[in-house]
Amino acid sequence: MQKKLFVTGIGTEVGKTFCSAVLVQYFHADYWKPIQSGDLHYTDSMKIRDWAGDNVFCHPETYRLKLAASPHQSAAEENKLIRVNDFQLPQTSKPLIVEGAGGLMVPLSDSELMIDLIEKLKLPVALVVRNYLGCINHSLLSIMALKERGLIIDTLILNGVFPPDTERIIINYTERKTKIIRFPDIHSMTIENITAIAKQLTNL
C-alpha cells in the first residue's frame, strides 16, 4: 500500500508546507491541498512545485478561496459553505501528501473543523511542531485531540531547534509507535535544500 499522510500542525505558520515538500521528495509522492485560503497568486501547490520539483503532481484544490483567513470566513465572503462530505481523496497510484490549513480546530464551517476532514479522509497524521512560547500546550492538546478521535499520529515532525526541556515533554506524550523526525531551520527554501533534508530521512 502506498504511503498517504495528512500533514497538520499545532497552529498556523509552523512550517507545514516546508515539511510537506520534504515528505513529497522523500516518498516521491503526489501533493494535495484540499483548501487554499488566500494567497491565490502563490498557492501552497505552487510552493511545492518550486521546492520539491516541477515533476511533482499537485492535485487541484477542492476549494480556492480569495481571503487569507480561516476557511469558514473565507468561504462565507464568497457565499460558499464548506462541507466535509465535499472532499474525496484524489485517485493516484503514487504516495500522497495531503496538507491541511492551520491547525486541527480550524473551522471549515460553523459545524465542522479541520479534524473532521482528517477523520473523514481516514488518513494517518504527520503533526508538525515548531518551538515558540506555548508550543508545549498546543502540542499536547493536538495530540490529545487526535487520540480522542482515534486518529493515528504516524509521524511527529520537530521543525527547527528546540530547547531540550521542551522537546522532552512533547516526546513524553507521544506514543512509542509514532516516528519522530527533526528538520533543521533553513533560511532559503530551495529545491536543493529540500532535497538534501529528504535524503537524510530514513525508515519512514
Catalytic residue among 3, 4, 33, 66: 33
Q: Please tell me whether the overall predicted TM-score, pTM, comes out greater than 0.85 for this model.
A: yes
pLDDT at 203: 81
| Residue 99 among known ligand-binding residues | yes
Backbone angles phi, psi at 129, to 5 degrees: -120, 135
Question: Residue 100, annotated ligand binder?
Answer: yes
Identify whether 33 is a catalytic site residue. yes
Tens digits of per-residue pLDDT, 102-142? 999 999 999 999 999 999 999 999 999 999 999 999 999 99
CATH number for region 4-200? 3.40.50.300
Contacts with 41 (C-beta within 8 Å, 6 or more apart), sequence order: none
Q: 102: annotated binding-site residue? A: yes
Instruction: Give residue limits of the domains in the chain.
Output: 4-200
